[in-house]
Amino acid sequence: MDQNEKNKYKILTIAIFTAFQTPFMISSINIALPSIGTEFSAGTVTLSWVGAIFLLLSSILMVPFGKLADIYGRKKFFVSGMVLFTVSSLMAVASPSVGILIALRALQGVASSMILVTSVAILTTAFPPNERGFALGTAVASTYVGLSLGPFLGGYMTGHLGWRSIFFVNVPLSLIVIVMASIYMSPMRHGPRIPFDVFGSVTYSISLCVLMYGLSTLPSTISAYMAAAGALGLAAFLLRQARIANPVFDVTVFVKNRVFLFSSLACLIHYSATYSITFLLSLYLQYVKGKSPQEAGLILIAQPVMMAIFSPLAGRLSDRFEPRVLASVGMAVTAAGIFQLSTLDAGSGITRIVWYLIFIGFGYALFSSPNTNAAMGAVDRSHYGVASAAIGTMRSSGQMLSMGLTAMALSIYTGGVRMTPSAVPGFLASMSAVFVASFFLCFAAIFMSLARGRVRAPGHQ
């Protein structure tokens, strides 16, 4: 038994803290965006990049960082990521412009990729297969606690202390995690010291960056060319990875693994469909319904509270029953809730919105833990780092695609201008268009989840 297995509950505590931190920051910032826009005179499309740049950097670095962590040590990458996250949070407190803030959010994205590619792998290593669903479900629940408290506390802090306090409050928690990780984590280098494919990593990162930026700035002609160029670059990357001796992403291991492949694709589509909900509803509640940041936060808390309550249960159920069934049912519930959101207008009641969010939160919980459990349980221990990176990349890429779709809709219907009463009809039209598209994405994800085939969950008798 290695050090991580001996300290598995301390490792779980670290995972709980880190799983809480990033979503808390994201959901808090979403609530604060109108205040940031007012201070810096920024339009809706510019504000979307405060969150999108974080996701973009997380996405393009997860795969190469996952490989490096497998080779040189997951603990080293985890602690380094936490240090960078802490420093960039402190610097963001003093941001003099929206451009500097976006740049610092990019640094946080780099740090997040280092943390996320290692935290799931470390947690999976620390717990035996028959307890893995419980551990992952608990970490996922912490994610949703962060999403739950983010709108409420973020709204309160924005209203009483200013939006900069959101960055400062993360520092003490980061320092606690750094100390605990330094004491209780083992180095965990499971891969041999093989050559690292620098060219492939650069190709992957640039291609994904170009693809994401192109998608987020559609429908202009140059954006379409950028998206196509990025897609071709990724295709060339995958073809090269399948032929070289020491790939940064072992295509053959994962593409031939049906369970992992379709679990990853379901994750991508799921986050593409759901991530922008909080962003859009935050703007809707404050600009259209006239709510304060704190009031908007209290309303938006409904969805992540349901996630936090039911994720541990869904994780435990996935240790005993078919994860694909649980995940597929969850995706169907989410699809139904998002379709209802597409019907909102300026006169919609708050109670109606809360019920839709509760419905979506329950479906989200049923999907997330079982899907991650199925994916990580389908790969060998020596590939946990890259597998975790692949799942993380699917999640971040989906989130980025969701924000790209949202930015495109806002650009088409509102021109990306600052929100004024005259811009409200265009905003409502863009919000409805995004939710309709998200419904069809969720519908596709149901079939992707079922297509993985029968999964014998760890611990299933």
What string of H, E and C letters represents the secondary structure of 417-446?
CCCCHHHHHHHHHHHHHHHHHHHHHHHHHH
φ and ψ at residue 378, rounded to 5 degrees: -95, 0
The tokens for 86 are 């802490």
Q: Is 192 exposed, middle or buried (0-12, 13-18, 19+ CB in 10 A)?
A: exposed
Residue keyed to tokens 């290593």? 125
Which fold, 3-184+248-450? Growth Hormone; Chain: A; (1.20.1250)
The tokens for 391 are 């799942």
Residue keyed to tokens 């202390």? 161
What's at 428, amino acid-wise? L
Q: Are 327 and 367 in contact (CB under 8 A)?
A: yes
HEC profile of 175-211? HHHHHHHHHHCCCCCCCCCCCCCHHHHHHHHHHHHHH
- Per-residue pLDDT of the chain in tens (461 residues, 90 and over written 9): 555 567 788 888 888 888 888 878 877 887 888 888 888 888 777 787 887 788 778 777 877 887 777 777 788 888 999 999 999 999 999 899 989 999 999 999 899 888 877 777 777 777 877 777 778 778 877 877 776 777 778 888 888 888 999 999 888 989 999 998 888 877 655 555 667 778 888 888 888 778 777 766 666 788 889 889 988 998 898 888 888 877 777 676 666 778 888 888 888 888 888 888 888 998 899 888 988 888 888 888 888 888 878 877 887 777 777 777 888 888 999 999 999 999 999 889 999 999 999 999 999 888 887 887 777 777 776 666 667 667 777 777 787 778 778 877 887 787 755 666 777 888 899 999 999 999 999 888 888 788 766 655 444 44
Q: Are 307 and 278 in contact (CB under 8 A)?
A: no
Q: Are 301 and 148 in contact (CB under 8 A)?
A: yes
What was the pLDDT predicted at 300?
A: 84
End-to-end CA distance of the chain: 25
Alpha helices by DSSP H, 127-197: 129-160, 165-168, 170-184
Buried b vs exposed e over 376-391: b needs ≥16 C-beta within 10 Å? bbbbeeebbbbbbbbb
Q: Is 49 exposed, middle or buried (0-12, 13-18, 19+ CB in 10 A)?
A: buried
Break the chain into its structural domains and give their ranges. Answer: 3-184+248-450, 197-247
Q: Look at residues 118, 122, 98, 163 and name the one whose alpha carbon lies nearest to residue 12.
A: 122
Q: Is residue 162 left, alpha or beta, with left meaning phi > 0 and alpha meaning psi from -120 to 50?
A: left
The tokens for 217 are 């700035």
Residue keyed to tokens 């949703």? 144
Which pTM value belongs to this model? 0.71
Residue keyed to tokens 């090269």? 240
Q: Are 377 and 111 in contact (CB under 8 A)?
A: no
What's at 311, amino acid-wise? S
Cis status of the peptide bond prior to 219, with omega within 30 of 0: yes
Q: How many CB atoms lie within 10 A of CB 349?
A: 10
Those residues whose C-beta lies under 8 Å from the C-beta of residue 445, and which sit 6 or more positions away, are 266, 269, 270, 273, 331, 335
